[in-house]
Amino acid sequence: MSSLLQSPTATPGRFGPYGGRYVPETLMVPLFELERAYELAKTDPSFQAQFQDLLKNFAGRPTPLQFASRLTAHLGGPRIYLKREDLLHTGAHKINNAIGQGLLAVKMGKPRVIAETGAGQHGVASATVAARLGLECVVYIGTEDMARQALNVARMRMLGAQVVAVDSGSRTLKDAINEAMRDWVTNVRTTHYLLGSVLGAHPYPTMVRDFQAVIGREAREQILSAEKRLPTHLFACVGGGSNSIGLFYQFLGDAGVKMIGIEAGGRGGQLGEHAARLAAAQGFVGARPGVLHGTYTYVLQNEDGQIATTHSISAGLDYPAIGPEHAWLADQRRAEYSAVSDEAALDAARLLSRTEGIIPALESAHAIAGLIERSPQMRKDDLVILNLSGRGDKDMDTYSRLL
């Protein structure tokens, strides 16, 4: 265990062979500047006080850890607790990281933030924090996603952000990130790139994880207080990987705690039909280590190394790469990854709504589906914490159409 925890810090920004900083020369300087600002912020009492204040009074932390008694009874397997990140301001865990990076932008004297968004949740969180801190905000979104996420686009505009439609490539998240990186190269002096997950070049994967690790710190205390023991299993959905690593991180040293990341299995195993990067054992093909958006990790690609198109019913999981720390945790077998289908996620969303009175985000519904599939093999004294990363308001069109 200790070797696992030590090696990522042996080389900053590396998780075993993964991670790193693969960017054009012009971005090295702002990345060093960001790394330095983040290192200082870690021990800066005024930064930490502002961060804690906004997490508590603006975002609504701590979030509850709720015993899901009816879901537990329905599945007849392990005891299930839900970490209620869906109750946060703006409806998902994304606000934790947006607050941290927004404060860093202020510290660095940068009056402008840019962000990419797929489902619109990170765009909304960024626009929200920018408004609160008095920063200019520009959000890049693919035109394909823009149509799927009209409500979130309206929210970003209401908050004063400029929303830029990206019409290149597959017109989704990957293309929005390309555009945001282009903007950053041009405007580095005035602009901070507020990246939304544990992706991109160092220091992003480490920094975003640290901002999200509050989820697991709270959950660990809460479960010890409620059950007087550690959980046996953690479940979370994995897009880029920020809500899952946010839950997992505080438990990495607890050898008895199994960690299960659930990816988007979409419509099936063929390349282009899913966004499962670490579920090869289940027949999801196409993922190999490679570089995308500044980091070395598992990437869905064809035989020539062209980035594959992906599919998921959930825009927040629909991305061809995974955070480099997850690639390393998978190699080490410290965490397990598997994928569930669009259909299983829809069924899980309906089940949670009807047993617990909580309509989950489609992303979070994947984690629930993963738990449902696994619960027959689990014991009654197993103890689960499932990260409910977001609420389902944004997905009501999809639910109404398909259920």
Does 398 contact ligand PLP by CB under 6 A?
Answer: no
Among residues 138, 177, 361, 384, which is the contact residue for ligand PLP, using CB under 6 A?
361
Does 363 contact ligand PLP by CB under 6 A?
Answer: yes
Pick the catalytic residue from 126, 312, 375, 389.
Answer: 389
Cα 103 to chain centroid, rounded: 20
* Structure token pair of residue 252: 């990495």
Among residues 72, 172, 191, 243, which is the contact residue for ligand PLP, using CB under 6 A?
243
Among residues 239, 286, 324, 370, which is the contact residue for ligand PLP, using CB under 6 A?
239
CA distance 77 to 232: 13
Strand, helix or coil at 5? helix
* CB nearer to ligand PLP: pick between 71 and 124: 124
| Least separation in angstroms between CB 394 and ligand PLP | 8
Q: How many chain residues interact with ligand PLP (CB under 6 A)?
A: 21
H/E element, 386? strand 383-388
Stretch that binds ligand PLP, among 33-41, 118-126, 182-190, 302-310 (CB under 6 A): 118-126
Among residues 8, 77, 241, 294, which is the contact residue for ligand PLP, using CB under 6 A?
241
Does 237 contact ligand PLP by CB under 6 A?
Answer: yes
> What's at 280, amino acid-wise?
A
Judging by DSSP bridges, how do beta strands 14-15 and 18-19 pair with one another?
A: antiparallel
Strand, helix or coil at 338? strand
Measure the CA angle with vertex 307, ends 303 and 308; round to 5°.
80
94 is catalytic: yes
Longest distance between any two alpha carbons in the chain, whole Å: 57
Among residues 68, 119, 133, 278, which is the contact residue for ligand PLP, using CB under 6 A?
119
* CB nearer to ligand PLP: pick between 137 and 247: 247
CA distance 184 to 110: 12
Stretch that binds ligand PLP, among 30-38, 117-125, 266-274, 303-311 (CB under 6 A): 117-125
Residues sharing a CB contact under 8 Å with residue 44, sequence separation 6 or more, in sequence order: none
**φ, ψ for residue 399, nearest 5 deg:** -60, -45
389 is catalytic: yes
Residues from 270 through 299 that contact ligand PLP (CB under 6 A):
none
With helix as H, strand as E and coil as C, how does 220-263 read? HHHHHHHHCCCCCEEEEECCCCHHHHHHHHHHCCCCCCEEEEEE
325 is catalytic: no
| CB-closest chain residue to ligand PLP | 390
Stretch that binds ligand PLP, among 56-64, 142-150, 213-221, 239-247 (CB under 6 A): 239-247
Pick the catalytic residue from 83, 85, 94, 341.
Answer: 94
Does 242 contact ligand PLP by CB under 6 A?
Answer: yes
Stretch that binds ligand PLP, among 286-294, 295-303, 342-350, 359-367 (CB under 6 A): 359-367
Which of 41, 207, 193 lies closest to 130 in space, CA to CA?
Answer: 193
Stretch that binds ligand PLP, among 26-34, 72-80, 152-160, 236-244 (CB under 6 A): 236-244
Does 261 contact ligand PLP by CB under 6 A?
Answer: no
Among residues 310, 364, 375, 398, which is the contact residue for ligand PLP, using CB under 6 A?
364
Among residues 63, 90, 101, 121, which is the contact residue for ligand PLP, using CB under 6 A?
121
- Written as one string, the DSSP assignment of 83-151 is EEGGGSGGGBTHHHHHHHHHHHHHHTT--EEEEEESSSHHHHHHHHHHHHHT-EEEEEEEHHHHHHTHH
The contact set with ligand PLP (CB under 6 A) reads: 92, 94, 119, 121-122, 197, 237-244, 316-317, 361, 363-364, 389-390
Give me the active site residues, please.
94, 116, 389
